[in-house]
Structure 1
Amino acid sequence: MSLSSAIYQGNVYHKRFTPTVHEFRYDIYLFWIKLKELPELAQLDGFNVDQKGFLEFRRSDYLNQQGLPLEQEILAKMNALRDTLLKSVTTPINGDVYFLGQTRMLNLYFSPVNFYYVQDPLSKQFTFMLAEVSNTPWHERHYYLVDLSEQDDTQKAFHVSPFNPMDMQYKWRISQPSEHLTLTLSCYKQIKHMVASIDLHRQELTTSNLSTAKKRIPSMTLKTVGGIYWQALKLFIKRTPFYGYAKPATKKPEE
């Protein structure tokens, strides 16, 4: 079967510039899933949808606040954020939604961030991206909406790393997903403090490519969790300033 869904393989890179210098790079793979194709993907050997297995895409792991089908909920979330954050955008956000992120592996789910791209039905260009950010170990989520034609700076609004202050600006640089996909997030507080990026290349989502990816990195979930705490330990040893967790204020409905 011919699918728009795919596997993206490449690396994630982080570098801190101040007050301590620190950088790392890991190999990763992420799934690129056209949500309308989930019924077809459920027929693919080695890829489970809402059914336990080595690898499973489980609906309840994503957003899941309104009891809607995932694509419908994502579009509702985007339009709610558009109404409050992107007032210059006057037309409703609509189109096919693509997911870029991790699934459950070995029945374990953890993903620091998931990305949802909307493809315009006429131009076929990707017009908006919703970032679903989770923090560890507080299990909270926050959403950032980016207009891909503008990619304006965003005020940081959610505590993630205890080694970054809250009063920062995010600068997004997001490519159009194709054979090559890049996404860079730079964190500023007057000067650039940190940059995080992914640099990925597309592969067809086939049983063979899926098997190869799983053999290369048997559990992205465990690798991600382990990597976060390992790098945090290194930053602690380097005496990087620590910013304690503060519970967020009561959220508005659109957050």
Structure 2
Amino acid sequence: MSTLPGPWGAVLYDARTTHVRTEPPRPAFRHRGYLWLVDLDRLPRLPWPLRPLAAFRPRDHGPARDTGEPTIRQDIDRYLAAHGVRLGRGRVLMLTQARSLGYVFNPLTVYWCHDEAGRPLCTVAEVHNTHGGRHRYLLPPDPDGRSETPKDFHVSPFFPVDGRYRMVLPEPGERLGLTVHLEREGSRVFTATVRGTGRPAGPAALLRAALTHPFATRAVSLHIRYRGIRLWLSGLPVHPCPPADEARPATNPTPTEEVPAP
């Protein structure tokens, strides 16, 4: 899409996230919420009564909280330039949860980066774990959004830091469809999907999303912890978070690194 639709130039997706563990098998986990697709050069300008419902702050998305980067776009440009990718005046689309009612937790934020002619240059997947760590992955472009990468970052306490991810992260349009598979020793042990239907972002769409999914940003974090307690009680072994992955800056330079499997 050349220009995102709606009065705010953004899209809101009513989304459902599903986690399926197959080795050892466990009941599927599902969570509903909503996600934003925004152009980093044209972040939504909300009227002041609605601003508590959505804010896009650099400290919520950058590699570290003290980098001093003035905007998310400038931080992404800096990150890509450090790894030899020059966007120039190309566009960057970001899929994420916005800070709402003073809180945000994004297990995964995805950036689709284009050159000045609109051609895809790369995708950046930014992972946050519940220990405060952040990790970025620079992924090569693919017409179908497909990529694979070794696992290199602690996300779930019920999987060690090993194995390989196969992912499908196509740039969304009217519909959103992301998939991440984790494979260990030749077997698929975990699959995460995000599916959704988009609508142009505006006051009515935001109010509808906020009323349908109240406290959605806190609910994500609470559901992850609740799910973790149930898995622990079911007898799954726990793999502690390595100290290096706690509050880890998202500075990964290679194009083949982890995409999250929460």
Give TM-score scaled by structure 2 length: 0.82
Matched residue, 1:10: 15
Q: Distance in 2 between matches of 1:222 and 1:34?
A: 24
> 1:111-122, aligned counterparts within 5 Å?
111-122=106-117
Q: Distance in 1 between matches of 2:119 and 2:201?
A: 21
Q: Distance in 2 between matches of 1:125 and 1:183?
A: 20
Contact 1:96 1:121 in 2 (8 A): yes
Higher RCO by CA contacts (8 Å cutoff, separation 6 or greater): 2
Please state if 1:42 is matched with 2:45: yes
Matched residue, 2:257: none
Structure 2 unaligned residues grouped into runs of 5+: 1-5, 254-262
**Does the C-alpha gap of structure 1 residues 252 and 99 become closer, same or farther in structure 2, counting only changes over 3 Å?**
closer
Contact 2:112 2:123 in 1 (8 A): yes
Find the residue that maps to 1:16 and give its secondary structure: strand
Matched residue, 2:132: 139
Q: Distance in 2 between matches of 1:108 and 1:253?
A: 24
Matched residue, 1:176: 171
Matched residue, 2:38: 33
Identity %: 25
1:101 to 78, 96, 103: 96
Matched residue, 2:141: 148
Please state if 1:130 is matched with 2:144: no
Q: Distance in 1 between matches of 2:221 and 2:232?
A: 17
1:217 to 207, 213, 219: 213
**Does the C-alpha gap of structure 1 residues 239 and 100 become closer, same or farther in structure 2, counting only changes over 3 Å?**
same
The one-letter code sitting in structure 2 at the alignment partner of 1:121 is E
The one-letter code sitting in structure 1 at the alignment partner of 2:135 is H
2:74 to 65, 69, 72: 72
Q: Distance in 2 between matches of 1:46 and 1:251?
A: 34
**Does the C-alpha gap of structure 1 residues 46 and 14 become closer, same or farther in structure 2, counting only changes over 3 Å?**
farther
**Does the C-alpha gap of structure 1 residues 92 and 58 become closer, same or farther in structure 2, counting only changes over 3 Å?**
closer
Contact 2:175 2:196 in 1 (8 A): yes
Following superposition, the deviation at residue 101 of structure 1 comes to 0.8
What RMSD in Å do the two structures reach over aligned CA positions? 2.4
